[in-house]
Amino acid sequence: GEDVEQSLFLSVREGDSSVINCTYTDSSSTYLYWYKQEPGAGLQLLTYIFSNMDMKQDQRLTVLLNKKDKHLSLRIADTQTGDSAIYFCAETQNQGGKLIFGQGTELSVKP
Amino acid sequence: GAVVSQHPSWVICKSGTSVKIECRSLDFQATTMFWYRQFPKQSLMLMATSNEGSKATYEQGVEKDKFLINHASLTLSTLTVTSAHPEDSSFYICSVQGLAKNIQYFGAGTRLSVL
Contacts of B49 in chain A (CB under 8 A): 98
| Cβ-based contacts under 8 A for chains A and B | 52
Do B64 and B58 contact (CB within 8 A), yes or no? yes
Residue A107 CB partners (closer than 8 Å, separation 6+): A10, A11, A12, A18, A20, A76, A79, A83, A84, A85, A86, A87
In the prediction, which pLDDT does B87 show? Answer: 94
Residue with the bigger pLDDT between A17 and B2: it is: A17
Q: Of B17, B5, B4, B3, which is closest to residue B112 (Cα–Cα)?
A: B17
What's residue B30's pLDDT? Answer: 87
Pairwise CB contact (< 8 Å): A42 & B46 = no
**Residue range B24-60, pLDDT digits in tens:** 999 888 889 999 999 887 889 999 999 888 889 999 9
Q: Are A3 and A103 in contact (CB under 8 A)?
A: no
Chain A residue nearest residue B93, CA to CA: A42
Cβ contacts of residue A104 below 8 Å, gap of 6+?
Answer: A6, A8, A37, A86, A87, A88, B41, B42, B43
Q: With contacts defined as CB-CB under 8 Å, which chain A residues touch B92?
A: none
- Residue B92 · residue B80 · CB < 8 Å: no
Question: Residue A33's closest chain B neighbor by CA?
Answer: B103
Nearest residue in B to A87, CA atom: B43
Please enumerate in sequence order all residues whose Cβ is within 8 A of that of A108, keeping only pairs 6 or more positions apart, or say none: A9, A10, A11, A12, A84
Question: Residue B4: CB partners within 8 Å, gap ≥ 6?
Answer: A42, B23, B24, B25, B26, B94, B95, B96, B105, B106, B107, B108
User: What tens digit of pLDDT does each residue of B55-114 get?
Assistant: 899 999 999 999 999 998 889 999 999 999 999 999 999 999 887 778 899 999 999 999
Best of B102, B103, B105, B112 to mutate (most A CBs within 10 Å, chain A): B102
Nearest Cα of chain B lies from the Cα of A20 at a distance, in angstroms, of 16
pLDDT over 70 (residue A96): no
